[in-house]
């Protein structure tokens, strides 16, 4: 019985750790998101139809898009402007923040 409880505990730990929230990274992303709210909405849910919702999107996807806009592998002038001065770590914080917001 005890072994079973330990096993269940371990499984829950693994599941909950898969997308662990890094509070420092999240907080950095939240403060950087001031640059984004005008277009993507206050919590990553856009009210402007041509602008996508980004809340709850996969973190790896968000980070790739942000780097692609900055490095001109994906073209959008608004997104290029807003990412051009951001470091990889800042983009990582933004991706972490938005991926952890509810959709
Ligand atoms: C001036 C308006 C504007 C601002 C400010 C802005 N964005 Fe965007 N963003 C857009 C538009 C428009 C698109 C869609 C681009 C396209 O059609 O390829 C977009 C696309 C994206 C995408 C790709 C989403 C997808 O589903 O592929 C991400 C991620 C993103 N923005 C994140 C951000 C972040 C993070 C910030 C703040 C640092 C930000 N944006 C600031 C207008 C904006």
Question: What ligand 1 atom has the least distance to the C-alpha of 66?
Answer: 29
Alpha-carbon distance 29 to 33, whole Å? Answer: 6
pLDDT tens for each residue of 30-40: 999 999 999 99
pLDDT at residue 29 is higher than 90: yes
Q: Does 96 sit in the ligand 1 pocket, CB within 6 Å?
A: no
In the CATH scheme, what is the code of domain 22-99?
1.10.760.10
Nearest one of 92, 84, 98 to 75, comparing CA atoms: 84
Which of left, alpha, beta for 45 (phi over 0: left; psi -120 to 50: alpha)? beta
Domain definitions of the chain by residue range: 22-99
Q: Does 94 sit in the ligand 1 pocket, CB within 6 Å?
A: yes
Helix axes 88-99, 23-32, angle to 10 degrees: 100
Residue with the smallest CA separation from ligand 1 atom 25 is 52
Mutating to test ligand 1, I would choose from 34, 82, 85 the residue with most ligand atoms within 8 A of its C-beta, which is 82
pLDDT at residue 28 is higher than 60: yes
Instruction: Supply the mean pLDDT for the chain.
Output: 91
pLDDT at 10: 60
């Amino acid at each position: 019985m005890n072994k079973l409880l330990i096993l269940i505990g371990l499984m829950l730990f693994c599941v909950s750790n898969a997308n662990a929230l890094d509070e420092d990274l999240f907080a950095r992303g939240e403060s950087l998101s001031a640059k984004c709210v005008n277009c993507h909405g206050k919590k990553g849910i856009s009210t402007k139809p041509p602008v996508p919702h980004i809340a709850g999107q996969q973190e790896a996807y968000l980070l790739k898009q942000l780097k692609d806009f900055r490095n001109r592998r994906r073209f959008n002038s608004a997104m290029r402007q807003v990412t051009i001065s951001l470091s990889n770590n800042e983009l990582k914080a933004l991706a972490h923040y938005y991926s952890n917001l509810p959709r």
